[in-house]
């Protein structure tokens, strides 16, 4: 219960802070509009040249898929790795490990709380803009869409937290973990369907996007495809599998990191 109260306090405090100091919101909004907007304009032109359909999907499906990726990225969970690496390199982690609240628990909820306000605002703004310009694809009007996309969002957030926590924790053994972060982050970006919808991938790459933890953390981008209506339970099961596996790895790595600090006199 104490950990839950700490989590709620962190999220609530950071949420209010973002409301009163909206600089982060402006930055995130401009970034999403610039990156996502330019990509969607390009794809609009390409789909127009191809008669409105590419590899069996329409432009509205591709547009919503990519928007959902950029929207989820507004939480900036990827910055968790950098925060942990910075804590280790500065020595701040040694003080934080001695606190009554778990260091990782604190860092997880800090990251979620810091991005929650722009996350919600951009959801509303982006949904309105896309609805007005291209409308909702039929797949988003299916009765299964809302409950399954919520499950994929929650699962994707937990999986991303574990992925980036593991990367950050390698800083206890590696002087600079940023190269690992760059590789994994690019894998998440590519297999998650950021600039190319997963439905347009070659078959081998598509299988990597489905069965790897990097692609599984972004299953939200699959929720607008027609295939999601038949495969949602299998994809969510894959996501749950990786949550259990990477959650266990995170726990083991964190325990070894704690012992490493104790042995070295931290």
Residue 162, classified by CB atoms within 10 Å of its CB into exposed (0-12), middle (13-18) or buried (19+), is: buried
Contact 54, 210 (CB under 8 A): no
Residue 219: per-residue pLDDT: 96
Q: Which tokens is 146 given?
A: 């809302």
Taking CA 69 as the corner, what is the angle to CA 233 and CA 194, rounded to the nearest 5 degrees?
110
Nearest CA-CA partner of 166 in 249, 90, 89: 249
Tens digit of pLDDT at every position of the chain (266 positions): 667 787 888 888 888 888 887 777 787 788 888 888 888 989 999 898 888 888 889 999 999 999 999 999 999 899 999 999 999 988 888 888 877 788 999 999 999 988 899 899 999 999 999 999 999 999 999 999 999 999 999 999 999 999 999 999 999 998 788 899 999 999 999 999 888 888 889 899 999 999 999 999 999 999 999 999 999 999 999 999 999 999 999 999 999 988 877 545 44
Stated pTM of the model? 0.93
- Neighbouring CB atoms inside 10 A of 246's CB total 21
Residue 262: per-residue pLDDT: 59
Q: Which tokens is 250 given?
A: 């995170």
């Amino acid at each position: 219960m104490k950990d839950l109260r700490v989590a709620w306090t962190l999220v609530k405090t950071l949420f209010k802070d973002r409301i009163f100091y909206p600089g982060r919101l402006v930055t995130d909004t401009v970034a999403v509009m610039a990156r996502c907007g330019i990509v969607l304009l390009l794809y609009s032109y390409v789909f127009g040249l191809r008669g409105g359909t590419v590899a069996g999907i329409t432009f509205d499906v591709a547009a919503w898929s990519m928007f959902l990726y950029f929207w989820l990225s507004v939480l900036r969970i990827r910055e968790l790795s950098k925060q942990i690496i910075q804590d280790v390199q500065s020595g701040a982690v040694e003080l934080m490990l001695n606190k009554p609240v778990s260091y990782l628990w604190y860092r997880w909820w800090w990251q979620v709380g810091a991005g929650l306000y722009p996350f919600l605002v951009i959801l509303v703004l982006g949904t309105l803009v896309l609805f007005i310009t291209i409308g909702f694809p039929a797949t988003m009007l299916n009765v299964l869409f809302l409950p399954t996309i919520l499950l994929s969002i929650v699962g994707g957030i937990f999986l991303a937290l574990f992925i980036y926590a593991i990367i950050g924790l390698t800083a206890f053994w590696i002087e600079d973990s940023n190269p690992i972060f760059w590789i994994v982050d690019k894998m998440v970006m590519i297999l998650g369907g950021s600039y190319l919808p997963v439905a347009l991938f070659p078959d081998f790459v598509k299988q990597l996007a489905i069965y790897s933890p990097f692609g599984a953390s972004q299953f939200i981008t699959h929720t607008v495809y027609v295939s999601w209506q038949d495969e949602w339970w299998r994809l969510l099961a894959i996501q749950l599998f990786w949550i259990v596996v990477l959650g266990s790895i995170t726990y083991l790595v964190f325990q070894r990191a704690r012992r490493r600090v104790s042995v070295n006199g931290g």
